[in-house]
Structures are given as structure tokens and as C-alpha cells.
Structure 1
Amino acid sequence: MTAADTTATVITANPADGTTLATYPAMGAAEVEAAVARGAEAARSWGGLPVTERVALLARLAVHLRADVERYAALVTAEMGKPLAQARGEVEKSAVTADYYAANAEAIQAARPVEIDSPAGVSAFVSPEPLGLVLAVMPWNFPVWQVMRFAIPTLAAGNGVLLKHSPNVTGTALAIADAFEQAGFPQHLVTALVLAEPEVPDTVARLIADDRVAAVTLTGSNRAGEMVGAAAGRASKRSVLELGGSDAFVVLSDADVPAAAAAAVGARFTNSGQSCVCAKRFVVEAPVAQEFIELFLAGVRDLTVGDPTDPGTAVGPLARADLRDALQRQVDESVAAGATLAAGGRSVPGPGSFYEPTVLLDTGPGMPAFDEETFGPVAAIAVAADEGDAVRLANATAYGLGLSVWSRSTERALGVARRITSGAAFVNAVVASDPRVPFGGTKRSGYGRELAQAGILEFTNQRTYWVQA
């Protein structure tokens, strides 16, 4: 670490107008080392506490989040541009998750007896036990929820958390670490690292290799996932990767088309389309395609783009200007490849990183809007000749995170869903994470699971006890 590195800073900016929000001193090597040492010690002590003591603090966390929801929501909106009502929603969802684990974590972590018929006098059981300090590399798009959906079950399991959040939401990262202390969790059990952008790859690699770091989880790009997964493999450490998504929203010929179209608008444009589980590719059977497209376009044209603090705003800015520019490339290249621009297709003039809600028709394999993850307010619609063609188009992706299938026949929808690869399948509903069910992907969308029982057990040692009386 050079002298220049010790004076590096992280600057956050408001994507709605480009103004600077705050400047934070970046941690140097000595500060990172101290954070790891303190975090590892806190995790050891925490893991030795009874489960009942750990989960009691989760209930207090839920109370704290709800009491301070306006402050957290305002910070999220300022740093990454999410409409304020949606920012409140992710804080509330975090509180709901804390309540869920406060009520269920003890039962999930109970030792499981194993029946042993022979030899005589032998008993056995399996006990989930904490691993230690877990490194979390988290994204900016749901800056509270993404952290909480990992951290809450991981802490309930008796582990500690070392958080490397996205630099553009540094204020939120520090606020999250403080929220756990405000709720009564031990100091240093949740630590936010503030790293200068050039230092991130090497620092993360060193942390994964560090013996005091027991495991790593990442939610982010495939490029980041490749680096983290490779480093975890070299260190023989547990890892969970929640990567990109290009979720299919399949509308079958017997669907309730108005309901599907209304849901599709929300599924694509919530959080300005900046979500791994946003529906991105709309695969519609030919008999209902025209009706769906007309209703969908009407819904898109009703969306209000603007100031994310305005209650009437549905679509705020993209989190950064480079993300807007990357989206423009995908749209332009898709149109050049034969897609039809039916709505939007350009940046909104003026300050801020705004992009028009955009709809592309006549899309399919070979176009960036269909093949790549579009992380912004762009919808790609493809018309399928029949059910088999819909399955083919839905599977024509390197990703496999979520899937939504719409049909008046549950049996038919489930049959179609079973033929399409994904980590989750929703019938007549929009894909969303929920603390009661596991969340994660397949294929290039990653591996491992968060939430529900799986969210606790991912970062535990399933330890076998064999007792001879």
C-alpha cells in the first residue's frame, strides 16, 4: 500500500442530477487487516452463543428498521435513484425477513437425529454449526435488501459478516453496519469495508485467501462471479454466487392476457429495470401476441419517468451514466439486428442518468436485448409459434434465474415450467424473492441458495456426531 493509496477516497453521487453526495476516506491495508481481525474475533464469540440469544436480536433489528425506514429509504434513493416508495419497500422486506428468522431460525438449526439400527448402543445426529466470518460482495441495485437477505440468515446461523458493498452506495453500506449495532448486535460482527475502486479486485482476492475468512458470497455480474468463484475454489472455501438473469415471462395462448400484461409492466420496470429477477424477455404465443403487445405498450406509455423522490414517479434514473450508455448500445445493436423499436429507445435529455422505458418487438436469439442481461428499462418481446416454440425461446439463454408462466390452466403452466431451466418458476405471478422459499439460480445465473432454510444452512458445517454408549 503506497502513501497515495492511504489518501484515496470514495465519492458517491446522486444519479438523478449528478451532484456529489459524500466523500469517504478509503481503507488502507492496515485498516482492512484490523477489520478482518476484529470481525473474526466477533464471529467466534457470536457463534458460541445459544441460538435463542442470536434470534432475539433479529426481532430487535426488525423493529429498528421499521422505526427508521424513512432515513434508510431516503439514503437509498439519493445514492442509486430508486423511487422512494420502492426504497421503503426494500427496507420493509428486510424487516419482514428479520421477523421470519426470529420466529423460525431456532427450529431450522435444531440438531437432526439419525436412526441407527446397528451396532447396538450407537446414536447419531447432525448439527448445523457456524463457519465463521463470511465475506459478502454486494451490488447497488437493492442496496439494503441484497445485503439483508444474506446477512440475516447468516448471522442467525452464528457467523459474522464482512461487507464489501458497491462504492456508489457506500453511505448505505455504513448505515447497514450501524443498523445491526443499533439493534444490539455485537460491535464488529457486521463490518463494512470502504475500498477504493482500483483496490477492490486484489483486496477481495486476498480476503478470500485469508484463513480468517471462512466463506464468500457474491451478488453481481458474471465477470465478478468468475473471479470470486475461482478464488474460492483455489482456497477450497464455500461460495454462493447470485449472478445475472435474463428471465423469461411466458404468456401462453390461454392466459388471462390483461392480467399478464399489467403484471409484465411491473415485472420489467420496477427499480427502473435494474434487477436480476426483472422479467426481461417476454415470450408470447402467437394467438394472443397482438393483444398482449397493445396492452403492454399502453402500460409502458403510462409510466412516469422523473424525480425518484416524487410520489408519482414510476421509473427513476439508472444508477450510473455508464450503465445508461451500455443499455443504449444493446438497444442500438438489437435494432440493427432486426428488432423493431416500439417505444422509447433513448436517454432522457437533461441532467441525470435517465433512460426512456423502451419496448423492442421482433426480438430473438442473436440480438443483445435477447441474449444479454439488459439492466435497465428495456423489454424484449418475442412471438412464439406455439407452446413448443415458447419453450425453445425461453431456454435460448445462458442464464437460469427466474421464470414466469401465464396460463388459465395451472397444470399446463406447470408442465411448461418444468421444460424450462430456472432456479425458480412462478405461475401467474411475477418472480420475486421471499424469505419463506429458497432463492438462487442455475446455469450462468450462479449457484447456491439464499433465504428460507437454505439461507441458514449454506454457511454452516453440517457436522455429524456418532456416539457409542
Structure 2
Amino acid sequence: MLTVINPTNGQTLHSVPALDRAGMEARIDTALQGFSQWRKTSFSERAQLLQRVANLMRAQEERLARLMTDEMGKPIKEARGEVQKAAWCAEHYAEHGEDYLKTYDLASDASHSYIQHLPLGPVMGILPWNAPFWLAFRFCAPALMAGNTCLIKHDPHVPACAEAIADLFVQAEAPEGVVQNLPLQTPDVEAAIRHKAVRAISFTGSSGGGSKVASMAASELKPAVLELGGSDPAIVLADADLEQAADLIGFSRIINAGQSCIAAKRIIVEAPVYDRFVELLEARLAPLKVGDPANEDTDIGPIAREDLRAELARQVEQTKAAGARCLLGGEPLDGPGYFYPVTLLADVTNDMPACREETFGPVAVVLKAENAEQALAIANDSEYGLAGSIWTDRARGEAMAADLETGQVVVNGLVKTDPRLPSGGIKRSGYGRELGPHGIMEFVNIQQVWVGPKQG
């Protein structure tokens, strides 16, 4: 059984039967059988299915959003936005997938030589709990548009969300086997990865989990895309618009209760504006309301699980003990549920736990740098390399972007994922790309075709 604890009150929400080995193999076989027909469909047919699913999501926004709020504690106003963003992802690939995968000529000694992009087969997405709908569609929309079928192995803590995603495709009258839900216990995931019908893996989660998945996939010679943890730097230089930087960095740090891989986690501020920026950030964080995620006025809901809150509390305590100055929060909240307050730690250094480890919660840490060069060095002194932001003059920010060791850089703006643009990391933040034209290329056979006779 997959048992879900409501993070808002700590009580059992529901239990869902997990698939046994026979049930898992049956669904994988169904995906393989479905692939034999789905791969032959036109781009237009695939686009029509994705558009129908997007329309259903928009029409059922409230119902789908409530599932996230109940199972993992996402504030309802954020959950509604996630449903809409997932629909946008489906719509984007419905509109642009054919162009991304168009056949093109390459000159050679052939009478005609060209490249075409063919589907691989059933692809399995191993997904986390923190953005159940968005991350599912980030995986499945491009994979389906490319002609693959999709197996969704969602996190055991969001089984109702996973079932709802699969049911959307049923409602949209998708051919059988195009999308299959795999509600598995964690120990059974390896067998699914190694199943001969599963052709590729997409994993979003921790660096430790990604390392295990990558090893399994590599041992079976299966391609994998890994979107893993982050300790994303936000560099604020002395010439930055401090008000705007405080607004957007503060927002980045607390969205989804800070449970986001691409949230700003290490805020590195140039010395001349350090004190002023800390004041501005504190003023923005202090009024935020922590509470029941079902309430419209709640800004920050609970941490998704009790063990995750305990880990966050350890990181904060050890960082304070190492010399950080706590200006807000810093202790788990009493009462039912897994709530943690908005926390602001100043005078942090890059060797403290809140910087060396990924913090998954509403904890903002601020570091001081003497100049831009030191700020960049601090930013790059991390085993992670997912995303980062630079706040400075535009030309200077663009010049610095090439020296920031991350897969995504934003100059004077909010770090976010966008269906139109590729995202992914380097170092222990993973490999491969999702979204944009690059993401859809991860799970296709880039086939070269040479047609004779040989010329010249």
C-alpha cells in the first residue's frame, strides 16, 4: 500500500494499493503494445490528444489543484497555477513539437542524405512529489509528441495526483497504452528500470537517488535524463536594483514552501550593499503567512513530510551553530502538521551546511562577497550546478553568465522553468535537458539516412 500522510495535520489521508510485479509487467507490456500503434500516428494526431488533455486540465483546475494541496501541502493558489502551467506545457508541444522534430538534409556523398527523428518506445518518468502535475507534463508532453509511450512512476506520497494524470488521458480518449500509471513501492522501481520493454528513463529527484537510477540505466545501456538537486546562487552586485532583487529572490526562496530545486538558495551580496539588501529581504519575508494550504490567504504551506522537516531543522541548527545570524524563524513550529517558519540567516559562509547541502524549505541564507569576482567564485564553489541568477547591469550580467557553472542563468529576473526554453544541470545537478527544442530530442532516435547511388 502507498499510504499518504496529510502534511497539514499529520493524519493519514488515504492509502492506495501498489502494483505487484505482475501488475507492473502488465502495464509495461500495455505501453509496449500501445507504442506499436502510437509511433505510426501523425504529429497532428498527437497534437490533438495533447490539446484535449490541456483543455481538460484547464476545465478541472480546482479539482486537480486540491489533490496537490491535500497530498503534499501546496498552497491552493500555487496549485491552481501549477495546473495551468502543466496545461501550457502540453499546448506548447502540441503546437511546436512537429517543427522541433522536422527532418532536415545534410550534404554528403549520397544522392540524398538526411536526418529524421524517430521514437524510442516506452519511456519511464520517475517523478518527485514537489510539483506533481508540472513535472509529469514536463516529462510526458515532449515524449508523447515524439511518438513514445509514457510510464509514470510518481512519488508514493502523491498517488491520487498520479492517478488523476493518467485519467486525464482516458478522458481525452487516448489510445490504450499511451500513458500508464505505475504506482510502485520504491524497492520495485529497479525492476521497472531494467524491464526490457522500457527504453529510456527520466528522473527528477535528489542527487543520491539520481546516482542510483543512472547506475541502473547505464548497466542496461538505456539513456537517461537526470534533473537533480541544486544549491542555486543568486548574485547581487552593488549596481543592482536592490528593491526588485529582494522582491524576486524572496519570492523564489519561498514558493512551494521553498521546496524547489531551482529556488534561490545561496544569496551572495556584494559588500557595499550587503546590509541594505538584508534589510530589504527581511522586510519582504517577515509578513508572509504560514498556515493551512487550503486557505486562500496562506503564503507558505507545510513541508511535505516529517522527515524532510527534521532534516531542514538540522541544517538550520548546524548553520546557526557555525556562526550564522538568525533574523527570522529558525525553529520548527509547534502543533499538528509539518510546518516550518520563513527563516532568514545572515552572515553565512559557503562552508556551512545550509550552503554545502541542498535546503528544501523556506530558508533564505545570505553571504557577503567583497567584489564580483569573489561572488562568482563563491557561486561556483558547489557540487551543484542547476540554475543561478545575477543582479547587475545587463551587459555585465551577460558577460558573467558564461563564467557561472550552471545549466541555466537568469540576469535580473526570476529563475523558472518555461516550456519554450531548455532546463537542466551540470555537476551533481544531473545531465540531459528537458523542455524547449532540446528536451524533446532526449528521447528520440536521431537517424541518419543515406540514399545512393554515391555521388562524385
Aligned residue in 2 for 1:468: 452
Alignment match, 2:62: 70
2:85 corresponds to 1:93: yes
Structure 2 residue 207 is the aligned partner of structure 1 residue 207: no
2:25 is equivalent to residue 33 of structure 1: yes
Residue 166 of structure 2, aligned match among 165, 173, 177: 177
Deviates more, 1:367-376 or 1:19-28: 19-28
Shift of 1:36: 1.0
Q: How far is the alpha carbon of 1:364 from its aligned partner? A: 1.5
CA-based RMSD of the aligned residues comes to: 1.0
Deviation (angstroms), 1:204? 2.0
Q: How many angstroms apart in 2 are the aligned matches of 1:213 and 1:345?
A: 45
Secondary structure at 1:144 match in 2: helix
2:107 to 110, 115, 139: 115
Does residue 44 (structure 1) correspond to residue 36 (structure 2)? The answer is yes
Confirm whether residue 263 of structure 1 aligns to residue 252 of structure 2: no
In structure 1, C-alpha distance between the alignment counterparts of 2:440 and 2:22, rounded to whole Å: 32
2:205 matched residue in structure 1: 220
Within the candidate set 24, 27, 32, 2:16 is matched to: 24
Residue 345 of structure 1: which of 323, 330, 350 is its match?
330
TM-score (norm 1): 0.95
- The one-letter amino acid paired with 1:436 is R
Q: Quick check: 422-431 or 361-370, which moved more?
A: 361-370
Distance in 2 of aligned mates of 1:188 and 1:84: 32
Which residue of the partner structure matches residue 159 of structure 1? 148
Contact 1:403 1:417 in 2 (8 A): no
Aligned-pair CA distance for 1:19: 2.3
1:59 is aligned, of 29, 51, 57, to 51
Is 2:405 the partner of 1:413?
A: no
TM-score by length of structure 2 reads 0.98
Match of 2:311 in 1: 326
Identity over aligned pairs, percent: 43
Superposition deviation, residue 79 in structure 1: 0.4
Q: Displacement, 1:454?
A: 1.3
Are residue 375 (structure 1) and residue 360 (structure 2) matched? yes
> Could you say which residue in structure 2 is the equivalent of 1:248?
233
3-state DSSP of counterpart to 2:132: coil
Give secondary structure in 2 for the equivalent of 1:259.
helix
Q: How many residues end up aligned between the 2 structures? A: 453
Q: Deviations over 1:333-356 (max 9, x none)?
A: 111111111110011111110001
Task: For residues 33-75 of structure 1, give each alpha carbon's deviation from its aligned partner in whole angstroms, at most 9, with x where no partner exists.
Answer: 1111111111221111112211111111111110001000000
Pairing partner for 2:418 from 434, 450, 465:
434
1:124 to 101, 113, 119: 113
**CA-CA distance at 1:13 after TM superposition:** 2.1
Asked if 1 retains the 8 angstrom alpha-carbon contact of 2:350 and 2:367, the reply is no
Q: After TM superposition, give the deviation of residue 190 of structure 1 in Å.
A: 1.1
C-alpha distance in 2 between matches for 1:19 and 1:152: 34
Q: Secondary structure at the match of 2:374?
A: helix
Residue 437 of structure 2 corresponds to residue 445 of structure 1: no
Displacement, 1:11? 1.1
2:419–2:435 CA contact under 8 A, matched in 1: yes
CA distance in 1, matches of 2:418, 2:131: 14
- TM-superposed CA distance for 1:444, in Å, is 0.5
Q: How far apart in 2 are the matches of 1:17 and 1:208?
A: 35
Distance 1:365 1:436 in 2: 33
What is the DSSP-based 3-state SS (H/G/I as helix, E as strand, rest coil) of the residue aligned with 2:358? Answer: coil
Residue 279 (structure 1) aligned to one of 264, 268, 278: 264
Report the CA distance between 1:10 and its aligned residue.
1.1
Residues of 1 paired with 2:24 and 2:7: CA distance?
29
- The aligned counterpart of 1:5 is none
The reply to whether residue 459 of structure 1 matches residue 451 of structure 2 is no
Partners of 1:180 and 1:48 in 2: how far apart? 18
Contact 1:249 1:283 in 2 (8 A): yes
Aligned residue number for residue 316 of structure 1: 301
